[in-house]
Amino acid sequence: MKNKIYISIITILAVLLQPSCKDLNIDPLNVIQDKDVFATEAGVKGYLATIYRALPIEDFYYRQEGSGFNRQWEHFYHPGALCGELVGPYGSTYDGAGGFGYWPYGDIRTVNYFIGNLPVYGTGFSKEQVDAWLGEAYFCRAYFYFALAKRYGGIPIIRKVQHYPEQSLEELQVHRDKEVDVWNFISDDLDSAYNKMPAASERGRANRYVAAALKSRAMVYAGSIAKYGSENFVAGAARDQGYVGIPAAAAAGFFQRAWDAAKLLEGHYSLYRKKTDKELNYADLFLDKESTENILVRDYSLTTGTAHSWDATMTCRFMTADGLSRAYPTLELVERFTGLLPVVNADGTPRRFDNTSQLAQGLEPRLLATIYFPGATLRGKQFDMQRGIYEHFAGTAADELGQNPPNRQFRHLAGKTETLFNGMRIIGFTGISTDGDDLSRTGFYIRKYVDYNRAQSQCGLYMSTQSWIDMRYAEVLLNRAEAAFELNNIVDARNMINDIRDRAGAPLLTGTFTIDTVRNERCKELAFEKQYWWDLRRWRIADRLLDNTKYHAMMPYYIADEQKYIFLREFEPFQRSYNFEKKYYYEPIPGGELGKNPNLYPNNPNH
Amino acid sequence: MKRPTFDACVHVMKNTGGKSLLLQLLFIGALILSGVEKGAAQKRDDAGQALPKTITGQVVDSANGNVLEGVTIGVAGTQSGAISDREGRFTVKVPDGKPISLYVRLVGYRELRIPYSGSGNVVVRLPATTAGLNQVIVTGYGTQRKATVTGAVSVIRASELVVTKNENVINMMTGKLPGLRVVQKSSEPGAYDNVFDIRGMGNPLVVIDGVPRSSGDLSRMDPNEIESISILKDAAAAVYGVRAANGVILVTSKKGTRSLTGKFDITYAVNQSWQQFLNVPQGVDALQYMMLKNEKQKRDFGNNFYNQMPPSFSDADMELYRNGTLKSSDWVGATMKEFAPEIQHTLSVNGGNDKANYFFNLGYFNQDGLFRSGDMNYDRWNFRSNINAKITDRMRAQLLLSGYTDTKNQPGGRGIWEMFKYTWNQLPTDQIYANNNPQYPHLMPDNANPVIMTNAGYVGSQAFKNKNFQGQLALEYDIPAIEGLMARGMYNYGFNIVDNTLVKKSYSLFEYDRQNDKYIGTLVNAPSTVNRTYGNNTSTLYQLSLNYTRKFAGRHNVTGLVLYEESHATADNFYAQREFSLGLPYLFAGDAGNQLGSMDGNGLWETVNKGIVGKVNYDFKGKYLLDFSFRYDGSSKFKPGAQWGFFPAISGGWRLTEEPFFQRFVSPNILSNLKLRASYGRTGDDGATGFQYISGYNYPSPGYFFGGNYVNGMASRGVVNPDLTWYTAKTLNMGIDFDLLKGMIGGSVDYFIRNRDGLLATRTTTLPGTVGTNLPQENLNSDRTRGIEIVLTHRNTIRDFSYNISANVASTRTMLRVVQQTKAGNSYENWKNSQQNRYTNIWWGKQYGGQFSSYDQIYHYNVNTGGGNQNVVPGDYYYQDWNNDGVIDGKDESPIAVRDLPLINFGMTLGAAWKGVDFNMLLQGATDFYVQYAEQMAEPLMYGRSALTQFLDRWHTADPNADVFDPNTQWVPGKYPAMGSPVAEGTKAVQDASYLRIKSLEIGYTIPKKLLSHMGISNLRAYVNSYNLATFTGLKNSDPEHPGTVANGADWNYSQGGYKYPMNRTFSVGASVTF
């Protein structure tokens, strides 16, 4: 018996000392290693996808402050609304002038790591293949540095992955490089990219001409900073040491490089001219994925959660299924195309219209494809624009506009579309309300990039999938025209401008030709493409253009007793004034970075 | 234990797998049984013959007749003695023929001396000295009598739990356990929306019937199936090793009652409640809104200082509401109900005989939400079957099966918080239905018509389902050769299934063109989609242990435990989504385009934990107490080679009242119990640190379109620290327990200090951003949490009337000891941001000065309030110039309050019984508790939307058309500043949320047995109950537990901008009947 008991005990002890059945060494399943990344085509592609995604492409999502490149739906925080293309939710230029502390050295490290490790692990690939990928990496690196240089001027150039603690802290606390050196570094990287990459690439990726296009953009920036930044600047230690500012003498060289780079694209891309109707052609240019003008695009889709909200936020809720609009083209931008609109008779009285759509008659097709005018049609609905009702209107427009609002006794305004005057709706369904800003404040809406083919029910937040055209051939022609003009090659500049104007449906230029002609064409052609903010800065004219500046609206009113419409050129209802301080030609180096590295001092002047 | 041993073990057992272990266990059990049964019987026979004379007997509690185990029975003047077994039975040898005296001794009971001369069975009825001392308390991997407990352990039992009626077990614990802090954030059905911790230490480990589970599993238990809940607050938790640093909540389910007759009870209980929603804000009406909006427009300095803008709303706009053409919309009333029902049914069977006993429980719970649509609700089924069987005299088995399934329904498409946000902020000038025609839901900004978005008929529905099952088999065997040695094996298998269906439907919203009498509709929320998510996690756990309990020489009580535990958990999931055009919201009927199918990569994981636990408890005559325990714990979350940690604990106690010299000073009749105790031990916290040692790339990461196709990206994990490990906590606890006047008054005081080391931090050698990467986190920082807990109890019986009072108060605070931090730019910032040796959760802000009452005062005010005082109007707040620099700015911030959970929590239970009537009231409260509300609760007309009615009490001009910036304008004062003025901050915004509430109140009546016995009913009790009956607080317009903004950088979801589902008050009636 006892034996059995002891056997039992031993058995139980054996169970107690039961070996563990599970191994403690368990790796997470979603982590992969270098060799799997750099030695396989799929791995390299995935790595490059991460880099491309981080590229500082100022697409639909971009805003000049706050969240910067981080994705949010509020596309009406548009940089154009800081500087007079649009009036929007920004209170003044200062809302965006200080930037958002962009400092993409993490992404630059990712690129540098790729440049360093692809040749090590990627021995199984052909040299052409490795070169093509390296070329893309150089292109991307140049793009990051371009985004830094246009904000801060000279910043540290990091060419290789840095290691701590292998490298001492002293060594890692790098100094700023001179602004001119940064622009030259960008130029060199783009040359490397051009030389390594083939002539063609998948949609969305760089090839040698994409690198050349970026070079034409970057060099025209550098040239104008050298030329105009030497005339209009804020003095300070950073400038004295060359961290900001480029010697004027370097301007011509940069402009020449811009011109040369732009010239390389000739014959490889062309302006979009698919449709004979010039207005429709220009509108479709931004929607047709097969456009011959596209150089570098960024795509979006619903299922990947990348779709944007341009349709839902550029026109009011009347035309969409969700969201709201808050940024509206200024009358000043319209007048770049048209001069003063013919809304006042010779005797100073407002011209009478039978309906509001008459205002747009005979205007340049490109303008009408860029901006929705009163009476235009979108998704089966008309832009119903009306500021208010006059019981009757006598006298001149100027007299009426000189009155303070309480004294305009025959005028009726309203905050809501429900409000009627003698059975007539006081305001239009698309504006202009006294309450809030989710209906037009200026009488206009953005048309560029708006997908008019999209059903209204599909115009919700994060539902738009039209591609962002980061670089298109028209911009390269404008870069070339600007560089040509700065290099006194007026003929080439005029040819480029006229090519664009022909496509736009605008009369060709023949007479006098100034730098303002080139710039004005650029502003019109690239309106709302997030170029204007940077153009005003690199031309160093922002402080003059934004000097307690208020923008205007074209206000349609119904005159009840005449049953006619008039338009008054009034301030936009919020009457916001915009200013630009010269110090903002350079953004301040982010404060946190200065704290971590004292060698980044001196900060940019007056910051 | 070294790793190689385990590796060897792994090889041996590689092919057996975890699950076959159960079979092995059963097999071995059977083997033992077949052999041992006879042997045991044989032994008893042998013993009987060997002795000249024996006395057999049984010891029971004189008060309730419960059998008492572990009682020492000795023969005076001899060495012979015995200890009572599980049934309270004992056998002692006595010298033949002589009259003797037996002493019977058990801690917490009066020692008896019984003269014995006859023969046969004795039944000893032992009177308790103090009732509480004999409570058996569940501690980590075992039980202890309260009298001999040396750690900081608090317990509540079933009867104390269920007097609070709530859907969430954690809320039912509020105020009853000193050191447990509970804040209920909302009463949202099925959300189990609360935060809780033990002693301010962070998320505790929840262990239900020996198995680590989630706090959600505890919340979802049927309270009627809980026997007791213990919280281990100090080093007593060390037996749970690397997961125990924040304390442990141990839940024990009810087991069947053993009886010789095989008697059983069937109990049916029902509780019907009506929820009333507390502090639901109300919005202003249309005319008020227009007036406020015009005031705000006028006060806009930038736009109105020189040339004035027209008012937002003209007289014509307002006239529509004055003359009744349009009606103001009551959004809150149209969307939400004031009352909603809630019901709980429970059916349980409890019984057994001396061979087997069982407890079965079936519970159903249903709670309705506050939306008028009725589309938010929750239901839950719980079941449990606990069976204990005595297979042989030495062999016992326990089979615990339990599970729940629940469904939370809510309207589709949007978060609950949005439904509140949009209901509160919706403009009263917007119509609910276009032209008030219910066929045409009115178009709203963001398509957020709250009446429609809370209605599943329009927007679709969301259903969140859980199915949980736990099955546990344990075998116990009393090893014959060594008395008091018991072997135990346990295996638990559990799984949880998450099964969610989200249907988003498109529908139309309309505008009304009054001029042309036309409805203009737009389809919104398109496309309609159906999304299904399915996830499961499975966990297994087994334990093998040797337990030893023995009393030597009637004085030395020894218990010991060696246990091996291994647990394994896996989780997996996937989801699919399709758009649908037909009205069938199922995946099979979806459209071909835009399909989604994937999984949440973070929901795919596997962890293994192994541990060896050892415990020794020793007490000498119940006077000197010494406990030692350890756990050698391994976790798969860490780097191979660094997965194992050792977590020891030691504790001791001294019961002075057992000392004769002490009894001479103070009579045991006055001070019946005084115990000093202390504990110290080491625990770990692996919550935040798992798998951080692995470098490489996270895949998939956000990607990019190449050639029109999306390519997944690869995000570097950066520089990692391969040596990263768990936090380590060392806890010291000191306490005194006392009982006065034979238990009439009792109490205890505890002081604790927990030092944590190895908190994650990044070294201050901050790398410049240009390096492009950060230093990895290391185990560098440390903190200290200290606090005190006091419990006082009083119980008394005066003839038929008995009553008891139990009050507790606890306070805790955490201080950072070592903090890696960089120097700030100036001395003020340096001082403000310095964390070293400073309490956490300090709330910084400006000191409120007052409200400007006139332009004169503003004109003469010599401190710059921020904008040069240009844009200041009467009624605006001003703040103290704390640093006297003439400007109010961020540098005027000083510590003004404490953030987040209350520092001091208290509770008091008052119970009374008289004949069949019983009464129970729980008072619960907190102080050193502050809140600040944001968004609409702080700012009227936020984001251009409506205002809550409280803001009508504001400064405004007497003449609505007057110029706000004209110094001659007449103002009407109010509580809040003018519309458009800066919102409150600092001490004006941070409010004291100290509160005391009648958390629960229950009055019951038990119908006398004699009236019912002929109907076969053994017990019938009916009651009325209320939860959150009344709240006393200085806080206005909100419930104090309604969460406000939390510490900077904290999860937004904590308070969701204050748009939380409200708290409720319930009124319940209920009854339970036992057959």
**Residue B5 domain flag:** yes
The radius of gyration of chain A's CA atoms, rounded to the nearest angstrom, is 29
In the prediction, which pLDDT does A34 show?
87
Residue with tokens 């003359």: B323
- Could you tell me if A10 lies within 8 Å of chain B, comparing CB atoms? no
E-strand ranges in B580-726 read 596-598, 605-620, 624-635, 644-655, 671-685, 697-706, 709-716
CA distance to A278, A421, B418, per residue, from B315 (Å): 46, 11, 33
CA distance A296 to chain B (A): 11
**What's the rounded Cα separation, in Å, for the pair B428 and B450?**
12
pLDDT of A543 over the 90 cut: yes
Domain that holds residue B44: 1-48
**Residue A62 domain flag:** no
**What's the rounded Cα separation, in Å, for the pair A257 and A239?**
24
Instruction: Please give the structure tokens belonging to residue B320.
Output: 């529509």
- Could you tell me if A49 lies within 8 Å of chain B, comparing CB atoms? yes
Say whether A594 sits in a helix, a strand or coil. helix
**Residue A435 domain flag:** yes
**Residue B9 domain flag:** yes
- Could you tell me if A590 lies within 8 Å of chain B, comparing CB atoms? yes
In the prediction, which pLDDT does A286 show?
97
**Residue B1019 domain flag:** no
**Residue B603 domain flag:** no
Find, in chain A, the residue whose alpha carbon is nearest to that of B23: A15
3-state helix, strand, coil in chain B (%, to 5): 20, 45, 35
CA distance B471 to chain A (A): 20
pLDDT digits (tens, 9 = 90+) for A323-351: 999 999 999 999 999 999 999 999 999 99
In the prediction, which pLDDT does A15 show?
57
Chain B residues within an 8 Å CB radius of A16: 487, 544-546, 562, 564
If contacts are CB pairs under 8 Å, which of residues 331-350 in chain A contact chain B?
A: none
Are A384 and A461 found together in one domain? yes
Are A458 and A392 found together in one domain? yes
**Residue A586 domain flag:** no
Q: Which amino acid does the sequence have at B89?
A: R
Inspect the interface and report whether the beta carbons of A45 and B698 lie closer than 8 Å: no
**Residue A397 domain flag:** yes
- Name the residue among B76, B74, B78, B137 with its Cα closest to residue B106: B74
Nearest-by-Cβ selection for A299 from B515, B635, B705: B705
pLDDT digits (tens, 9 = 90+) for A222-238: 999 999 999 999 999 99
B124, B112 contact by CB (below 8 A): yes
Are A315 and A461 found together in one domain? yes
Suggest the residue from A3, A12, A94, A95 to mutate for an interface test with chain B (most B CBs closer than 10 A).
A12
**Residue B88 domain flag:** no
Say whether B988 sits in a helix, a strand or coil. helix
**Residue B41 domain flag:** yes
Nearest-by-Cβ selection for A5 from B446, B481, B506: B481
Suggest the residue from A17, A21, A174 to mutate for an interface test with chain B (most B CBs closer than 10 A).
A21
- Could you tell me if A127 lies within 8 Å of chain B, comparing CB atoms? no
Instruction: Please give the structure tokens belonging to residue B567.
Output: 């647990």
**What's the rounded Cα separation, in Å, for the pair A189 and A587?**
24
Find, in chain B, the residue whose alpha carbon is nearest to that of A92: B302
Helix (H) or strand (E) holding B155: strand B153-157
CA distance A489 to chain B (A): 38
Kindly report whether the peptide bond that precedes residue A432 is cis, defined as omega within 30 degrees of 0.
yes
- Name the residue among B211, B249, B251 with its Cα closest to residue B567: B211
CA distance B768 to chain A (A): 5
- Could you tell me if A199 lies within 8 Å of chain B, comparing CB atoms? no
In the prediction, which pLDDT does B107 show?
67
**What's the rounded Cα separation, in Å, for the pair B1038 and A226?**
61
Are A567 and A446 found together in one domain? yes
Are A317 and A387 found together in one domain? yes
Are A482 and A368 found together in one domain? no
Are A331 and A437 found together in one domain? yes
- pLDDT < 70 stretches in chain B: 1-52, 63-65, 95-99, 107-108, 117-120, 128-134, 260, 302-307, 689, 765, 1047-1050
pLDDT digits (tens, 9 = 90+) for A474-525: 999 999 999 999 999 999 999 999 999 999 999 999 888 899 999 999 999 9
Inspect the interface and report whether the beta carbons of A405 and B697 lie closer than 8 Å: no
Task: State the Cα torsion B529-B534-B226-B166 to the nearest 10°.
Answer: -10
Q: What number of other Cβ atoms are within 10 A of residue B347's Cβ? A: 15
A22, B6 contact by CB (below 8 A): no
CA distance A89 to chain B (A): 12
A480, A269 contact by CB (below 8 A): no
- Please give the ipTM for the structure prediction: 0.94
Chain A and chain B share a number of CB contacts under 8 A equal to 335
**Residues in chain A, how many?**
607
Task: State the Cα torsion A302-A305-A306-A307 to the nearest 10°.
Answer: 40
Question: What's the domain count of chain A?
Answer: 2
Residue A11's pLDDT band, with cuts at 50, 70 and 90, is: low
E-strand ranges in B412-528 read 461-478, 485-504, 507-513, 518-524
**What's the rounded Cα separation, in Å, for the pair B300 and A260?**
53
Are A419 and A534 found together in one domain? no
A530, A58 contact by CB (below 8 A): yes
If contacts are CB pairs under 8 Å, which of residues 286-305 in chain A contact chain B?
A: 298-304
Q: Is A381 left (phi over 0), alpha (psi -120 to 50) or beta?
A: beta
**Residue A272 domain flag:** no
Question: What's the domain count of chain B?
Answer: 1
pLDDT of A574 over the 70 cut: yes
- Name the residue among B145, B142, B150, B143 with its Cα closest to residue B134: B145
Domain that holds residue A485: 472-548
Nearest-by-Cβ selection for A21 from B13, B506, B604: B13
Inspect the interface and report whether the beta carbons of A110 and B772 lie closer than 8 Å: yes
Are A426 and A487 found together in one domain? no
Q: What does residue A69 show for φ and ψ, rounded to 5 degrees?
A: -90, -5
In the prediction, which pLDDT does A458 show?
94
Instruction: Please give the structure tokens belonging to residue A380.
Output: 């089966």
In the prediction, which pLDDT does B827 show?
84
**Residue A494 domain flag:** yes
**What's the rounded Cα separation, in Å, for the pair B250 and B207?**
5
Tell me the HSE value of B523 on the side-chain side, using a 13 A CA sphere.
11
**Residue A167 domain flag:** no
pLDDT digits (tens, 9 = 90+) for A41-68: 999 999 999 999 999 999 999 999 988 9
Chain A residues within an 8 Å CB radius of B697: 31-33, 37, 47
Chain A residues within an 8 Å CB radius of B518: none
